[in-house]
Structure 1
Amino acid sequence: MTTPAHPADWFVTRGPDTPKTPRVYVFAHAGGDPRSFLAWQSALGKEARIAAVCPPGRGHRAAEPHPTLEEFADGAATAIRAAERETGGAAGRPVQLFGHSLGGLVAFETARRLRDLPTLRHLCVSGISAPARAPSPRVRELAALEGREFAERLNFFEGLPPEVMAHDELMDLLLPAVIADFRMAAGYRYRPAAPLEVPVSVIAGRQDAYLHPDRMREWKDECRTPPAVHWVDGGHFYFRDTSPRAATDLLLTAVRADQHTEVI
């Protein structure tokens, strides 16, 4: 029997923090290293603190079994709730969730599980179609593949860079995590539920071949208030093409709007 992870095992953060500093919990894309998002902290400055969410089966949690998407969201919600309870519950710091691609779907399901968390203020999803559309046929087909065939088909999602594709050793090192995450996504089953009460923002790259306005419109069915949809320059990984400002500026805007509301 696997010992449940301590809540602290779920997150990595960078820099000083205070009990009142707004916290942005970030969920990485398939195969993504959660720690890579800590580089966004410089754009947030002292106004908010990033906490990268570390899934079971990866990094320092490699000994744990890979979860289903639902198990990942269950565990993340439990850990976030525990972390926020330590800072004072309803009087604690404001919380945002951000997720890119697969991480956006996990962040959405985590938000569903945190409906009663009074400090949850904003959900921002990036590079992901409406949950009712998941998993797409392309994701299901890709999740059934192995090895180089998987890697080559992953190019549609702007997957592994050429320098990785050219080295079998790097492929052997990186592919298992990506394949496991795609199989997690392929196993997802959407279940209708009450719309989210918190504001929802959606970011999509204009050159993202995977996303189309028709695939995005159904996000409105998941929110009490229509989501703010932001089309930005770039592809699926728009934040690699130029800078993460399209995402970090949006997160900062939400932080500042919430603080303004609190003052009023």
Structure 2
Amino acid sequence: MTARPPFPGAELNRLTDRQTARIRLYCVPPSGTGSEFFLPWVAAFSELFDLVAVDLPGRGTRAGEPSITDIGWAATGIAEAIAADLRHRPPADGFYAVFGHSFGALLAFEATHRLRSDSRTEPDLLALSAVPPPNRDGLDDHIARNLGAGIAVITEIMGWEQPTDDALTRTVYTPFLADAVALLQHTWRAWPPLGARLSVFGGLDDPMVDPESLPEWGACTTADARVHRFPGGHHYLRTQVAEVVGRLTDDLLAAYRSPAAG
């Protein structure tokens, strides 16, 4: 009898389905959210870009499924889903990138290393937003310090309005708490540097990530690393879609026109 896997797997949602696009961008949403987090990006990107978002169990359209509480499992599932998509529907020019925000950035980083080690493929650009570099205090430290403070602090961390009824509270916070468990159990692995270009984004007033630490991500790649800082806190990009997409577009096009060596 075959044992059932401990968690459901990651799925991909094609937000644009632009088959002639030159650049494919896989997007990993932050804690507690699904692919709907990136819907505001669809209109902001030109026809050159094809947006594909990750849907993890326990949130968004998959709210009825058990949430993943292991970062390694989630990252492996994301890497497998991306690798399968690349095989079955390769990008027009073979160019693809991965973006993640907050908890999603940690998953994007871990998934990218698994893509390289398990599938022998690596994105041309990895974009990470609102996540501290591996040698710094992580999101888990902030969670550990504040989780016991209750719903109000969790709401502030997530940048949400506090739910008004118990049913909505369960729907909103169950996946967040699962991600908190995953973070508190996570140990950084000493991966070798990537060959992909890095784009690093952050908020100037982020209480969870020191904006001055973001250039340290450059040690995680043998290629170029660009850093972009914006006004605002941990979820700065919710209100600055055009600005963030503009900078990301510039970095993607630069990588597309001049691929990193190796």
Normalising by the smaller structure, the TM-score range is 0.7 to 0.9
Cα displacement (A) at 1:5: 9.6
Task: Measure, in 2, the Cα distance between the counterparts of 1:21 and 1:82.
Answer: 19
Equivalent residue in structure 1 for 2:130, among 111, 117, 127: 127
The aligned counterpart of 1:137 is 141
Structure with greater proportional helix content? 1
Task: Measure, in 2, the Cα distance between the counterparts of 1:195 and 1:202.
Answer: 15
The aligned counterpart of 1:28 is 29
- SS, match of residue 84 in structure 1: helix
Q: Give the percent of matched residue pairs that are identical in Structure 1 and Structure 2.
A: 25
Cα displacement (A) at 1:92: 4.9
228-237 vs 80-89, which deviates more? 80-89
The aligned counterpart of 1:228 is 226
Q: How many residues align?
A: 253
The aligned counterpart of 1:194 is 192
Cα displacement (A) at 1:81: 0.7
The aligned counterpart of 1:13 is 14
1:224-262 per-residue CA deviation (whole Å, 9 max, x = no partner) reads 135211111122111223x31232113322332234237
Q: CA 1:257–1:117 in structure 2 vs 1: closer, same or farther (change >3 Å)?
A: farther
RMSD (Å), alpha carbons:
2.8
- The one-letter code sitting in structure 2 at the alignment partner of 1:255 is L
Equivalent residue in structure 2 for 1:250, among 235, 247, 252: 247
Cα displacement (A) at 1:20: 5.2
- The one-letter code sitting in structure 2 at the alignment partner of 1:153 is V
Cα displacement (A) at 1:107: 0.5
Task: Measure, in 1, the Cα distance between the counterparts of 2:139 and 2:207.
Answer: 16
- The one-letter code sitting in structure 2 at the alignment partner of 1:73 is A
Q: Note if contact 2:202-2:211 (Cα within 8 Å) is conserved in structure 1.
A: no
TM-score for the superposition, normalised by structure 2: 0.84
- SS, match of residue 201 in structure 1: strand
Task: Measure, in 2, the Cα distance between the counterparts of 1:19 and 1:114.
Answer: 24
Q: CA 1:56–1:141 in structure 2 vs 1: closer, same or farther (change >3 Å)?
A: same
Task: Measure, in 1, the Cα distance between the counterparts of 2:208 and 2:249.
Answer: 27
Q: Note if contact 1:151-1:159 (Cα within 8 Å) is conserved in structure 2.
A: no
Cα displacement (A) at 1:192: 0.9
Runs of 5+ unmatched residues, structure 1: none
